[in-house]
Chains A and B, each alone.
Chain A
Amino acid sequence: MEQLNLGDSKGINRRRRSDQTLHMIFLACTSIGILVLMALIVTIVMDGVHRLSPELFTNFPSRIADKAGLKSPIVGTIYLLLLMAPLSFVLGVGAAIFLEEYAGRSRWVRLIQLNISTLAGVPSIIYGILGLAIFVRGMNLGRSLLSGVLTMTLLVLPIIIVAAQEALRAVPKNRRDASYALGATKWQTVSSAVLPSAIPGIMTGVILALSRAIGETAPLIMIGALTYVAFLPENLLDSFTVMPIQIFNWVSRPSEAFHELAASGIILLLIMLFIMNIAAVWIRNKYSKNI
């Protein structure tokens, strides 16, 4: 470690001053983040709040700004969420249980672990390309809700697996020992002793991952979620659209009226994300004492 030159007592005032100056600079830098968030929320609310109306929920997207609504995007986002949630929960928690409880520490397991953390860093648009090639073209699912659900599930899985692993790791070892001592088998221990105390942590992770997914635009553009859908998807193979894609479409139009619509769509999207985040934090706080 570098030698600290602190013996110079004449410099103490200078050093204190520079400490205080830098304190102010650091504080200013930190407040930039807060100021930006405030600016972002204020501009979006000011641009979009007067476009918030019941028609936004009941009208389909339209070429005419005053008639345009978000009905099919809202429904599309909710369908996507409801279909993704169980699928990504089961697959993600399954993988996490395997890695934490069954797999041990072999080289293969370390490789899978490394692979998962690498996948978490892959840009979302690459998942879109994967979805386009495998689900839309390869499996011939077309530009459908199902393709979207499968693509987005692959996208959130690494996040969910990591969160679920952390939750499982936080369960004290003595719970497992107690269960084994009562004669339970491995799966009985995992399902009745470990999972119940890990579930709140897992749920928090899953909700946060899903809230990231419903804000994603790029992968769904890749698999061809349409921007003009004047009907509600009735089965898994229908085409669909989601809120971020409709917002993107409105932002890309030159007319100011559509930008206001985009802002109102963003308000709805942010409210939705906010509710999901509150739910995640609430679950974490409510059950965190039980372990």
Chain B
Amino acid sequence: MNKTSPVAANTKSMTFRRSKTRISDKIIPILLGLCAMLSVFTTIGIVYTLLQESVIFFKEVPVWSFLTGTTWSPILPPKEFGVLPLLGGTLLITGIAIIFAVPIGLACAIYLNEYAPARVRGVVKPVLEVLAGVPTIVYGYFALETVTPFLQKIFPDMGIFNALSAGLVVGIMVLPMISSLSEDAMRAVPKSLRHGAYALGATRFEVALKIVLPAALSGVVSSFVLAFSRAIGETMIVTVAAGATPQLTLNPLESIQTMTSYIVQVSMGDVPRGTIEYGTIFAVGLTLFVITFLLNILAQWVARRFREEY
């Protein structure tokens, strides 16, 4: 630093100097750019690997029968590769999780934003952050060892592996996401809007429901969509607690299998490359990737498109 000219805000004026700094200022941006490009390569890598192996799989199994088949039995003959049971299982889990987490997460966000004294907020927010940081395998244990026995007292004929327990715990997992993202969105609503409503005599509930929530709706809805996407991709809770029975059912007390837990199940055995079982990992993975990708894009679109500007 000390050898360069003191008038160097304009670096072009010193290009005649063959100093080390000049070289570092040429190479380093390239190296840093490569780091940034790594994320692009990762995306390309994901899309490429999923597509490449899926194409091989879809040569054996027509895409249409994969997408519309209602039986999934990839290992035992007669082999059938209809993804609907896995998709149905995933949506059942996700549905339970969302029905549980959306009202509670929203209530939590409204409470923290409109009602809670600063001291309570100071306790609750870190607790929710801890909840968000719990590894999913721990949630899986919790679902199997605590939630399922508890639910079995209410539904005595429910099996050990069931969609309800797994779905509820997935709901607990996405709860902090909904509450903290929704709360951020509500916090961004200008204070003057609130004060205006209070001045007109509105109660806190009316302010929350009629002023703050509509103004923050884009952020709140996008948090729901993100939570939905996270629930779809959740793996360990469903692998541990929901069982491994690919079936199309709406009964939450039954054992089901999701796309993610199927992928785990297959990869636990050492599947040889090139077999059709190996291909199913990528075909199901591609389905999962496309769904979560579209949901994430949707969340960003909702957040931008419907944002109320103040």
Residues of chain A having any CB pair with chain B under 8 Å: 1-2, 4, 6, 12, 15-16, 18-19, 22-23, 25-27, 29-30, 32-34, 36-37, 39-40, 43-44, 47, 90-92, 94-95, 97-99, 102-103, 112, 114-119, 121-130, 132-134, 137, 154, 157-158, 161, 180-188, 192, 208, 211-212, 215-218, 221-222, 224, 244, 247-248, 251-252, 259, 262-263, 266, 269-270, 273, 277
Contact = CB atoms under 8 A, between A and B. Distances in A.
Contacts of B138: 40, 44, 215, 247, 266, 269-270
A273 B134 CA distance: 9
A43 B293 contact: no
A33 B109 CA distance: 12
Identify whether the interface residues of A are mostly helix, strand, loop, or mixed: helix
B98 to A, nearest CB: 15
B172 to A, nearest CB: 5
- 8 nearest interchain CB pairs? A123-B233, A215-B135, A94-B35, A29-B107, A98-B32, A26-B111, A133-B49, A183-B8
Contacts of A98: 29, 32-33, 35-36
Interface stretch (B72-80, B81-89, B281-289): B281-289
Contacts of A183: 1, 4-9
Contacts of B39: 95, 112, 115-116, 119, 157-158, 161
B248 to A, nearest CB: 22
B14 to A, nearest CB: 8
Interface residues of B, number: 102
Of B28, B36, B232, most buried by chain A (CB within 10 Å of CB) is: B36
B103 interface: yes
B202 A247 contact: no
B20 to A, nearest CB: 10
B158 interface: no
Of B43, B203, B282, most buried by chain A (CB within 10 Å of CB) is: B203
B35 A248 contact: no
B272 to A, nearest CB: 11
A259 B144 CA distance: 10
Contacts of A124: 233, 235
Contacts of B133: 208, 211-212, 215, 273, 277
